[in-house]
Amino acid sequence: EHGESRARLGLAQAKLALGANDPAGARAVLADTEAPGLPDALRAERLLQEARALAAMGVFDQATARFREAGQGALPELAELLASREDWPGAAAALGTYLEATLPREGNLDD
């Protein structure tokens, strides 16, 4: 429980650091507040913040890996990153996987 609370606080601090254009600081606080056995949603959000920090630092290979680890919710941002790197096939694949997972196979879309 203590580890999870620390991890949540670290996530909040990482978001603030990214908002202040300090991606290295965001990565450092995430590393300092890592804990085993975190809930999946918290772990995914921490991976997403780390991916954003890595992308801001220009460490694109690691950022791509973290976006993938963060799960399907991170795929639109992964597609954006890959497109910015002119990796059109990678961007299309990431977006296609996201759409396949989120759009209903038949029927109308809801709100």
* Interval 48-104: pLDDT, tens: 999 999 999 999 999 999 999 999 999 999 999 999 999 999 999 999 999 988 888
Rounded CA gap, 82 and 28, in Å?
25
pTM of the model: 0.88
Region of 29 on the Ramachandran plot (φ > 0 left; ψ -120 to 50 alpha; else beta): alpha
Please state the φ and ψ torsions of residue 105, each to the nearest 5 degrees: -65, -30
Please say whether the dihedral angle defined by the alpha carbons of residues 40, 76, 53 and 21, taken in this order, is positive or negative: negative
Indicate the SS3 state at residue 111. coil
Give the pLDDT confidence of 4-17 residue by residue, as tens digits: 999 999 999 999 99
